Amino acid sequence: MKRTLDDLAVFGGTAAFSEKLYVGRPNIGNRERLLSRIEDMLDRRWLSNDGVYLQEFERTVARMLGVRHCIATCNGTIALEIAIRALGLSGEVIVPSFTFIATAHALQWQQITPVFCDVDPRTHTLDPDCVERLVTSRTTGIIGVHLWGEAHHVEALEALARRRGLKLMFDAAHAFACSYGGKMIGNFGDAEIFSFHATKFLNTFEGGAICTNDDALAEKSRLMRNFGFAGFDKVIYIGTNGKMTEVAAAMGLTGLEALDEFIDANLANYRSYTRELEGIPGATLRTYDDTRRQNYQYIIVEVDEAVAGIARDALVELLHAENIVARRYFYPGCHDMEPYRSLYPGAGAGLPNTARLARQVMALPTGTAVGEAEIRTICQVVRFACSHGREITRSMNSRAPEATGEA
């Protein structure tokens, strides 16, 4: 319990936790089921390349999402790259800057210019009016990102893409098992991609998938995932190696069996955070729309320095000292990272909401590795810090350089 400034670990007090609490601790399903699948895989000596687990994983995901095709990949970034290529995107593609860097890299990696667009400050997702203003004769597509698992403005983006003759894709890396308008995410735009990275709601260690209802696009993506092979010795496209391994698919199948458990844990944590963060000056929990199916994978808090008296960055530093490894997702915005910062130096001018969110947002630990007791302690630290923000800021600023780790 923090009662005075001296109790804070950043000023020499005892840390709230003896072990680090992380954002993104993997959700792990039933170990026995996983290990028995791995034994079976080893017995059969089939480790990759369209194995039975891969096929079962793709069938199960497609059925669950009600989508015609699921093409599983070795990670979400490769899923983005393949979908971008299979859709024939080129020239310029409009993307939010407030996203994980992979959304932008998947384009630039293929010499396509990511044109950074601002987000709606309420939803944290692409603002369709801003997208409209950025369309040029070189624009071939839009990639929306369902940040924190929630899709927004989908109809407006679909209408805009149709009207301007653009392809529309969604980076749904965060949105597995979530719905929008009564339909599961995976069904929107020309294609949607998922990430099954270790830190994601469903994980396959590393992994991803392209989901689409377009048969031709699915066929092309499938070929591109496997070097463009259309049969023994027959290559018909440029391709890459984007295959998901059998061990990854086995993990995915095991996780799929535990999805309800993962959701229950995340939802309980979200409810605890909602209760415990209530009324903290300047720290606002981003709320989920409970009318949809959600995976509640991210606990996102906006820190308003003007009210809390402490900036998000100082609060994150303070939390780290307490062994609460909060994250600044997604600071500083893709446009402010290399190579984009140098390539497109003017990009930041039209991104005021991105700039504010990148400055104010932090993600707090959740998932099956965190429970109510930990959340109560985390929130008590946040409450103390925001209620004594100005004093803490003054004291942090007056620390000797060695205490801040700066030279």
When asked if residue 77 is in the footprint of ligand T4K (CB under 6 A), the reply is: yes
Applying CB under 6 A, among 58, 92, 171, 374 the residue interacting with ligand T4K is 171
Residue 171 CB, shortest distance to ligand T4K, in Å, is 5
Residue 26 CB, shortest distance to ligand T4K, in Å, is 5
When asked if residue 24 is in the footprint of ligand T4K (CB under 6 A), the reply is: yes
What mask of x and - would describe binding to ligand T4K in positions 311 to 340, judged by CB under 6 A? --------------x---x-----------
When asked if residue 255 is in the footprint of ligand T4K (CB under 6 A), the reply is: no
Q: Residue 41 and residue 46: Cα distance in Å, rounded?
A: 6
When asked if residue 245 is in the footprint of ligand T4K (CB under 6 A), the reply is: no
State the Cα angle at 75 between 72 and 80, rounded to 5°.
85
When asked if residue 71 is in the footprint of ligand T4K (CB under 6 A), the reply is: no
When asked if residue 204 is in the footprint of ligand T4K (CB under 6 A), the reply is: no
When asked if residue 367 is in the footprint of ligand T4K (CB under 6 A), the reply is: no
Return the range that interacts with ligand T4K (CB under 6 A); candidates 6-14, 166-174, 242-250, 269-277: 166-174
324 - beta bridge partners?
A: 21
Estimate to the nearest angstrom the gap between the alpha carbon of 239 and the chain centroid: 26
Torsion on CA atoms 32, 35, 41, 42, rounded to nearest 10: -140
- Written as six digits, the tokens of 99 are 């996203």
When asked if residue 187 is in the footprint of ligand T4K (CB under 6 A), the reply is: no
Return the range that interacts with ligand T4K (CB under 6 A); candidates 17-25, 116-124, 274-282, 370-378: 17-25
Return the range that interacts with ligand T4K (CB under 6 A); candidates 99-107, 133-141, 312-320, 398-406: 99-107
When asked if residue 72 is in the footprint of ligand T4K (CB under 6 A), the reply is: no
Handedness of CA 376, 283, 98, 20 (dihedral sign): negative
Applying CB under 6 A, among 9, 10, 16, 23 the residue interacting with ligand T4K is 23
Asked if residue 271 lies in contact with residue 265, where contact means CB atoms within 8 angstroms, the answer is: no
Phi and psi torsions of 64, nearest 5°: -60, -35
Report the residue number, 351 or 392, with the smaller CB distance to ligand T4K: 351
Return the range that interacts with ligand T4K (CB under 6 A); candidates 134-142, 196-204, 313-321, 336-344: 196-204
Q: Which residues, 6 or more positions from 379, have their beta carbon under 8 angstroms from its beta carbon? A: 273, 276, 277, 280
Report the residue number, 134 or 198, with the smaller CB distance to ligand T4K: 198
**Long-range CB contact pairs, 213-222, < 8 A, 24+:** 213/67, 213/68, 213/69, 213/187, 214/68, 214/69, 214/190, 215/68, 215/69, 217/83, 217/86, 217/87, 217/190, 217/191, 218/68, 218/69, 218/71, 220/86, 221/71, 221/82, 221/83, 221/86, 221/191, 222/71
Applying CB under 6 A, among 7, 15, 25, 183 the residue interacting with ligand T4K is 25
21 - beta bridge partners?
A: 324
Residue 360 CB, shortest distance to ligand T4K, in Å, is 17
Residue 225 CB, shortest distance to ligand T4K, in Å, is 14
Judging by DSSP bridges, how do beta strands 183-184 and 179-180 pair with one another? antiparallel
Judging by DSSP bridges, how do beta strands 167-171 and 139-145 pair with one another? parallel
| The one-letter amino acid at 114 | P
**Residues at the site binding ligand T4K, with contacts judged by CB under 6 A:** 22-26, 75-77, 99-100, 102-103, 145, 171, 173-174, 195, 197-199, 208, 325, 329
